[in-house]
Amino acid sequence: MKNIKQSLAVSLWFIFLTFPLMVVKVNTSDQLVQWRWMNILWIGLATFVLSFVWRYALARKEARQMAAQSGQDEQDKPSRIQALLEDQSLRYKAMIALLIFALAFPWVFDTYQSTIMISALIYVVLGLGLNITVGLAGLLDLGYVAFFAVGAYSYALLNHHFGLGFWTILPVGGILSCLFGVILGFPILRLRGDYLAIVTLGFGMIIKVVLENWSDFSFGPSGIANIDKPGLFGLKMDIAASTTYIYYIMIGLVVLTIIVTARLKNSRIGRAWIALREDEIACVAMGIDMARTKLSAYALGAFWAGMVGVMFAAKTTFINPASFTFMESAIILSIVVLGGMGSILGVILGAMILILLPEYLRAFSEYRMIIFGAAMVVMMIFRPQGIISNVRQKYEFKGLKEKSENV
């Protein structure tokens, strides 16, 4: 009964707050005011149901926590899920099936669907790159879109002035963004928390302002047009063929990114990043070079942003500073947090959800940001570790155990 009263109060309060937005609609062309009274009913019912479910879920969560503290929590279901995630054979089969579906995608769906999927794959690579900096090393970066812009403008400018092709500039864009990552990393080696976030945010804003105002270099707000698409031995391709070709390039880039980031995660430098994320003081006390570890995280994370920036410029054939706003950095960071920091599979899933769903839910375009914000709030409360949490690799030494059994 108490939950019903609280949910009813929340419903009435939400109706009051959203009344001007959801009920009153002004038609400026006809100079009319439309009153959408039915929206009050739907808003009230939806808010009441969601509030009631929310309180029920919170109560269940508190009950599970209390049961876990008293040793009565059932661990069978989570352990089965964890076992499935750790099952190597099942994981490989799922990866092979997903790869087959990805390769057949352009031949099953139309060009529009392939274009949307290319955008999603671009954000997959961006999310995996930022996952190195934020998810593994624990270094908050709110200006990650700046490295994306460096790669895109590297290809646009070199192609415009010198006629250099896509395949020549692809590694160059990554290397230039890598250098910018090192430049950003040097001044903030000793910064943490909010100060680190402010500096990285400022770096992203500086890059955008420079691109908007240095017209002699970047062509200012008008941007750069007629950027060449990726070539294939000089063959001329129509829009559909070119889209399919770019799609397969992005598939290859995603696979390369997954392989490299997975190897880095389990390497010596990857373990140093994780140690830095967990406890910086203990990390330095154990002899890990903090400066080199931080700079490598920024540089390698920026490298993938630069490469996919080149891909973005080649795909759109037009770029301007408006394409590289803070909102892009926020979306990429949301992908990492929503998917699960440090989890490669989680980041891929987070990118697909945040990029594909808005495209397929255009009927709810007026409420997309509300749905997005609500989903993030729910995730942070009920599953703060992300959709797929990072599973740490365990190393067991069985030599002494086997020796004792033989004795």
Output the CA torsion 13→17→19→24 (10° steps): 180
pTM over 0.85: no
* Measured CA distances, 370 to 221, 235, 335, 373 (Å): 30, 46, 17, 5
Tens-digit pLDDT profile for residues 245-280: 999 999 999 999 999 988 888 888 888 888 888 888
- Give me the DSSP letters along 267-279: SHHHHHHHHHHH-
Q: Which residue has the higher pLDDT, 296 or 370?
A: 296
Q: Rounded to an integer, what distance in angstroms lies between the CA atom of residue 236 and that of residue 166?
A: 15
CATH number of this structure's domain 84-382: 1.10.3470
Which residues have CB under 8 Å from 186's CB, separation 6+? 295
Q: What angle do CA 62, 68, 69 make, to 5 degrees?
A: 90
pLDDT of residue 398: 63
Q: Rounded to an integer, what distance in angstroms lies between the CA atom of residue 373 and that of residue 379?
A: 10
Instruction: List phi, psi (to 5°) of 387.
Output: -60, -50
* Residues 335/354, Cβ–Cβ less than 8 Å: yes
Residues in the chain: 407
Tens-digit pLDDT profile for residues 271-311: 888 888 888 888 888 888 888 888 888 899 999 999 999 99
Torsion sign, CA atoms 370, 372, 375, 377: negative
Give the start-to-end residue ranges of the domains of the chain: 2-66, 84-382
Mean pLDDT score of the chain, rounded to an integer? 80
Beta bridge partners of 34: 25
